[in-house]
Amino acid sequence: MVLAAGLGTRMRPLTGDTPKPLLRLAGRTLLDHALDRLGAAGVERVVVNAHWHGDQIRDRLRARTARGPHRPDTVLQPEPELLETGGAVLRALADGLLPADEPFFVVNGDSFWLDGPVPALARLAAAFDPAATDVLLLLSRTSAAVGEVRGDFSLDPEGRLRRHGENEIVPYSYAGLQIVSPRLFDGIGGGGFGMNLLWDEALRADRMRGIVHDGGWFHLSRPADVADAERVLRDPSFGPSDT
Span 37-88, pLDDT tens digits: 999 999 999 999 999 999 999 999 998 875 556 688 999 999 999 999 999 9
Q: Which residue has the higher pLDDT, 240 or 35?
A: 35
Q: Which pLDDT tens digit goes with each residue over 89-106? A: 999 999 999 999 999 999
CA-to-CA distance for 213 and 200, rounded, in angstroms? 22
CA-to-CA distance for 22 and 17, rounded, in angstroms? 10
* Mean pLDDT of all residues belonging to the chain: 91
pLDDT at 237: 66
Q: Which pLDDT tens digit goes with each residue over 114-151? A: 999 999 999 999 999 999 999 999 999 998 888 888 88
Question: Looking at residue 124, what DSSP letter applies?
Answer: H
Which range of residues forms the domain containing residue 196? 2-236
Domain assignment present for 119: yes
Question: Looking at residue 53, what DSSP letter applies?
Answer: T
Q: How many domains does the chain have?
A: 1
Domain assignment present for 243: no
Domain assignment present for 166: yes
Q: Which pLDDT tens digit goes with each residue over 160-212? A: 999 877 777 889 999 999 999 999 999 998 889 999 999 999 999 999 999 99
CATH of the domain at 178: 3.90.550.10
Sequence-ordered strand ranges (E) for the chain:
2-3, 24-25, 28-29, 45-50, 73-78, 104-108, 112-114, 135-141, 153-155, 161-163, 172-180, 208-212, 216-218
- Across the range 21-27, mean pLDDT stands at 94
Domain assignment present for 241: no
Q: Which of the four pLDDT bands, split at 50, 70 and 90, describes residue 240?
A: very low
CA-to-CA distance for 88 and 188, rounded, in angstroms? 12
Domain assignment present for 158: yes
pLDDT at 71: 81
